[in-house]
Structure 1
Amino acid sequence: MRILLACGAGLSTSILMKKIEKYCESQGEELKINAVPVGDIVGNVEGYQNDYDCVLIGPQVSYRLDELKKVLSIPAASIPSLDYAVGNADKVMELAHKITGK
């Protein structure tokens, strides 16, 4: 799975990213994951949508989800606040699999 986390450039997203990496490693699932500010994605759509299966957006910037969906050709969804706050990697991966169908 190739996941792009859209964030407000905060530390909390990098913590979640590390938890997702550990979870996928424990499950034997291949993972490519990166976290970038939402503005970077909007400014370089082609560069990101060609390299990732989906975009998951942090709740703190979820108000920009519709904007992302308009410019991306890959699925995008907002991470539920509770799953984001507690770093619930299995639920985040469940969301990624659901929106990509993979």
Structure 2
Amino acid sequence: MRKIYLFCDAGMSTSLLVKKMQDVAEKHNLSVKIEAFPFVKAHAIITEERPDCILLGPQVRFLLNEMQEKYKDLGMPIEVINPVDYGVMNGENVLKFAIKLIKENEKNK
């Protein structure tokens, strides 16, 4: 089972996106665990859980470079969710993006 974790400022609006992503995953019988967390919990969750992909909400996109540098040795993709997809809560596009990142990461290992 792949783990896709979303981090945002407080975890509230991202939880709505997670629900939409899970609906798409269930519809296509994908074995994924998708969760949202407030950014303040990121370090503990990332180091303990070792997700396959980390997506940042647009409101914390300024942390992207710091996160990529801090966790580069863990070998997981870390990217920002497309602001348009986030704004309209397009769970399908965000899930496709996460899966693409996971596959590219596995291919490059």
TM-score range, shorter chain: 0.7 to 0.9
Tell me if the contact between 1:42 and 1:68 (Cα under 8 Å) persists in the aligned partners. Answer: no
User: Counterpart of 2:10 in 1: which secondary structure?
Assistant: coil
Deviation per residue, 1:64-97 (Å, 9 max, x gap) = 1111111222110100101011111111111111
TM-score after normalising by structure 1: 0.88
Distance apart, 1:44 and its partner CA:
5.1
Counterpart check, 1:54 vs 2:53: yes
User: Counterpart of 2:30 in 1: which secondary structure?
Assistant: coil
Distance apart, 1:61 and its partner CA:
0.7
Q: What percentage of residue pairs aligned between the two structures are identical?
A: 34
Root mean square deviation, CA, Å: 1.6
In structure 2, the gaps of 5 or more residues are none
Amino acid at match of 1:55: I
Distance 1:37 1:63 in 2: 15
TM-score after normalising by structure 2: 0.83
Q: How many residues align?
A: 100
User: Counterpart of 1:34 in 2: which secondary structure?
Assistant: strand
Matched with 1:42 is 43
| Residue correspondence of structure 1 range 1-102 to structure 2 within 5 A | 1-43=2-44, 45-48=46-49, 50=50, 52-72=51-71, 73=74, 74-101=76-103
Distance 2:56 2:31 in 1: 21
